[in-house]
């Protein structure tokens, strides 16, 4: 029983250490380097634009992507 309690406490302590060390504050002057396009969590902007064009062409309508065009694929 003591071994189980000791293992549980050790795992809780290690989890707390990992979770607390992952938190970081960012100073206002450091935010510029984090705002680079390479740091964006989404995909490549060119690929997203191409996917939006392809989707608009396939669906026959464009909306919500900020572009014009019709179902024929020409802009």
Instruction: Tell me what pLDDT residue 47 has.
Output: 82
Instruction: Tell me what pLDDT residue 7 has.
Output: 93
In eight-state DSSP terms, residue 42 is: S
CA distances from 32 to 4, 27, 39 (A): 48, 10, 11
Q: With a cut of 70, which residues of the chain have pLDDT below it? A: 22, 38-43, 60-75
Instruction: Tell me what pLDDT residue 12 has.
Output: 94
CA distances from 9 to 15, 17, 23, 30, 54 (A): 10, 12, 22, 37, 54
- 7/21 Cα distance (integer angstroms): 21
Instruction: Tell me what pLDDT residue 13 has.
Output: 93
HSE-CB of 75 using CA atoms within 13 angstroms: 9
pTM listed for this prediction: 0.31
């Amino acid at each position: 029983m003591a071994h189980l309690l000791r293992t549980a406490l050790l795992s809780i302590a290690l989890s707390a250490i990992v979770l607390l060390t992952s938190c970081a504050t960012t100073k206002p002057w450091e935010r510029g380097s984090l705002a680079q396009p390479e740091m964006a969590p989404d995909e490549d902007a060119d690929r997203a634009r191409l996917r939006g064009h392809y989707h608009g062409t396939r669906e026959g309508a464009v909306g919500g992507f900020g572009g014009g065009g019709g179902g024929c694929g020409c802009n």
